Amino acid sequence: MSYQKSTFRHPNLPLNDLGLTHQAYEGPLTTLCSGCGHDSIGAAIIQSCHELSIPPHRIAKLSGIGCSSKAPTYFLNKAHGFNTVHGRMPSVATGANMANRDLTYIGMSGDGDTSAIGMGQFAHVVRRRLNMLYIVANNGVYGLTKGQTSATADRGSKSKKGEENLLEGIDLAAMAIQLGATFVARSFSGDKRELVPLLKAALSHRGFAFIDVISPCVTFNNHVDSTKSYDFVRDHIETASVTDYVPVKEEIIASCPVGTECQDICLHDGSIIRLQGAEGSYDPQDRAAAMSALEYKKAEGKILTGLLYVDPSAEDMHEVMDTTDKPLNSLTESALCPGNEVLQVINDSFR
């Protein structure tokens, strides 16, 4: 229903390095419930891509099935999108990336789509270190099928019908770290201030970047006794360290705010992640430390957000596979077909 959307814009809207306005990154009007966390994630993605000046059509959006997987319809409509099947987006994203390593890949999934039916493919796309940004819009329920509890729901959290969840919730961020993801963060759709820099850093990271975004479902999982409600999350969030993203061009000028401790992590493209450690925070380049921090915060009943782990220098899948730099989908007969002479030699080997 995009037609309904007013296209009026203030004349002097900020332009990015490509001379594009925010609008160039938007999508049609959402059909998600008003207040759905997923739309806030979409807004943060729009802002991040705009501010990073990524050409919108050089982005590919992939998703599975679910309200969260519908969300990509409502941002970046100059980008091709692929609503695949439930839980199988990772394999399709892998094939897409194999075919063209030059696009920016954003995978958007849900907690059901990833932690239930998609668990196997998730584990393996992480392990292969596919160069993509994988976002789980985590609301602890199956929204589109009207409110069944998902595998990321916390133990003790109550469903809208009042049933208590008696199984441990799966922490996808912890799993991602363990399976070898090289950029892992957690955030909250209600906190754009934290989410946007994380998105920018993730998009600039080379390799597999995972962000577990807690994204409340206002219709089926925003009640008291839910641990994925706006209120509960706000009350239990604890930030590993405040993340700031410094793009390449600003590098020189940007400096650490006075009176604070900063850690700079340089990404593959020269941009910088600047961390202002909260007290008791650890070095997010230390895997073991990240794992135990997650363990202990969980024990305290806290939700640890922010950049959890990063390895800026790891190889991505194409480097591991040693694929040519040119996008495979751009190769033609000359590069692909060995020709008849070679074939006749091969024939001889079968005589």
Ligand X SMILES: Cc1ncc(C[n+]2csc(CCOP(=O)(O)OP(=O)(O)O)c2C)c(N)n1
Interface with its own copies (CB under 8 A): 116-121, 123-124, 127-129, 151, 166-168, 170-171, 174-175, 178-180, 287-288, 291-292, 295-296, 315, 320
Selected from 26, 39, 113, 316, the binder of ligand X by CB under 6 A is: 113
Number of alpha carbons in the 13 Å side-chain half-sphere of residue 272? 17
* Residue 74 interacts with ligand SF4 (CB under 6 A): yes or no: no
Taking the alpha carbons of 281, 284, 285, 289 in that order, is the dihedral positive or negative? positive
C-beta closer to another protein: residue 26 or 191: 26
- Cα gap 287→45, rounded to integer Å: 27
Selected from 36, 76, 196, 304, the binder of ligand SF4 by CB under 6 A is: 36
* Residue 110 interacts with Mg ion (CB under 5 A): yes or no: yes
C-beta closer to ligand X: residue 118 or 312: 118
Residue 219 binding target from ligand X, ligand SF4, Mg ion, none, CB below 5 to 8 Å by type: ligand SF4
Segment 72-91, which members bind Mg ion (CB under 5 A)? none
Smallest gap from residue 57 Cβ to another protein (A) = 5
* Residue 216 interacts with Mg ion (CB under 5 A): yes or no: no
Q: What is the DSSP letter of 131?
A: S
* Residue 137 interacts with ligand X (CB under 6 A): yes or no: yes
Cross-sheet strand order for the sheet of 241-246: 241-246, 272-277, 262-266
* Residue 42 interacts with ligand X (CB under 6 A): yes or no: no
Query: What are the two backbone dihedrals, phi and then psi, of residue 74, each rounded to the nearest 5 degrees?
Result: -105, 15
Q: Compute CA distances 217 → 71, 102, 138, 185, 223, whole Å.
A: 13, 34, 9, 20, 9
DSSP 3-state of 26: strand
Q: Residue 43 carries which side chain, given as an amino acid letter?
A: A
C-beta closer to Mg ion: residue 85 or 254: 85
Residue 230 binding target from ligand SF4, its own copies, ligand X, none, CB below 5 to 8 Å by type: none
Stretch that binds ligand X, among 50-58, 62-70, 164-172, 268-276 (CB under 6 A): 62-70
- Cα gap 176→225, rounded to integer Å: 27
